[in-house]
Amino acid sequence: MEALTDLAYVWVGVLIAAWAARRTRLTPVLYFLAVGVILVNVGLLPQQPHEFIRGFAEIGIILIMFALGFEEQVDHFMQSIRRSWGIAFFGALAPFATAYFVADYFWDDYRTSLMCGLAMTATAVSLTMVALRSENLHTSAAATRIMTSAILDDIASLALVAILIPLATGESSPSVASVGATVLKAVAFFLIVSALGIWILPYPATGRLARIPIIRHFGMQHFLAFENGQYATLIILLVALSVGLLAHAMGFHPAVGAYMAGLIMREEYFSLGGSDGTGTSYQETKTIVDNVAFSWIGPVFFVVLGSHLLIEWDTVVAVIPQTIALTVGLFVSQILSAALAARYTSGTSFAASVLIGFGMLGRAELAFVVMDIAYVQHEILSDEAFYTLMFTAFWLNVAVPVTIRWWKPYYERSMLSEKLERTDAG
């Protein structure tokens, strides 16, 4: 019953957070994080979340990312990859270097510096996309650039984990084979997902599948039409979970796979083709998915994320200088590197470039994985370094919804102005 009691506390906190967000007109994500911090520090949630709650949170982020991918168009995503390499490269290099040198200044230990740099490299795309969605910016071109850049960052970060963890722990030297295997897994994953989206899911079948007698007569549309669409939601969630598990097997976070699964699902797959006028189950399914992802399961992920921040006042006071230096350094370097890269490597407008810079601030999944490896498993990080990283990640996560909301009016005015100029030119 302990786990159910914890879940009840979390859901009460989610309701309060939703009310506070509506009253203050800020994104609920900010309040979900705050709820987690409060609940764990007043003792209503344990310092180590119950396995059931951790699993619930994991399902939540998978649902969130699938729902976000479900609203995106795969053509826009693929076009954005070609324009996002600079954002991904410079948007990862700058925070790594900043965290490394700040850590080196305070603790003068190359292993600690490596782990700090690695922990602060990858962007927490899930938090950013939810913040963008709350401002109705999640389908914008800037949001797509953030998503693709973050996925490319994840690939690079996975390669860095393969290289730097053995160096920092002293277990072994990274080999060409281990790094190559990481890259090959990433390529294989995207090729498999691409094959699903291009050849396997669509109906009528295309390519070589169209020549296979039985398979060519079936596609995702037939599965979603099972029992007149009654199980459409279950089927697409099964697809999301399956691709998420595939992503995990390839070394990614399952949420990345869930996003890609949502990306390759198309509205036309939901056409039931019946004669009773039902037409499609798409909107009904989308409503259910959004409700589950953003109202009662998804928020648990952010509450649990906030609950990692256990406040011990002696340590808090001791790491104030380090936290300020690292937070300010990462805030400035991340925004400048991502914004300038978006502006000058992909021709993005100034307003969109700044929005991309703000959107790349968050730190979550991979950061906590690295912290766990470095602090818990191998005791590389000192208590001070660990708390500095935790507080820095928290404040950067808080900065994401705040800065996006602050910049939204400037971005929308810029987009409107560009649209009017194109209309006049036409």
Q: Where are the domains of the chain?
A: 2-135+143-425
Alpha-carbon distances, residue 355 vs 130, 320, 331, 403 (angstroms): 14, 28, 13, 8
Closest CA relative to residue 203, chosen from 225, 179, 188, 220: 220
At residue 220, what is the residue type? M
pLDDT at 276: 43
Question: For the structural domain made of 2-135+143-425, what CATH number should be given?
Answer: 1.20.1530.20
Judged by DSSP in three states, 271 sits in strand
pLDDT per residue as tens, the chain (426 positions): 789 999 999 999 999 999 998 887 666 877 888 899 899 999 999 988 889 998 998 898 889 889 878 876 666 666 667 777 788 888 889 999 999 999 999 999 888 998 899 889 877 777 788 888 888 888 788 888 887 887 777 667 766 766 666 666 665 555 677 667 777 887 888 889 888 887 778 877 666 666 666 666 677 888 888 888 788 899 999 999 999 999 888 877 787 788 889 888 888 888 765 444 345 678 888 899 999 998 999 899 889 888 877 888 888 899 999 999 999 999 999 999 999 998 888 788 899 999 999 988 988 666 776 777 787 677 888 889 988 998 898 899 889 888 998 999 999 888 888 777 766 665
pLDDT at 170: 64
pLDDT at 180: 75
Strand partners, 271: 280
Residues 79 and 144: their CA atoms lie apart, in Å, by: 9
pLDDT at 275: 40
pLDDT at 277: 39
Burial 298-331 (b: 16+ CB within 10 A, else e): bbbbbbbbbbbbeeeeebeeebeebbebbbebbb
Alpha-carbon distances, residue 128 vs 27, 75, 202 (angstroms): 11, 21, 30
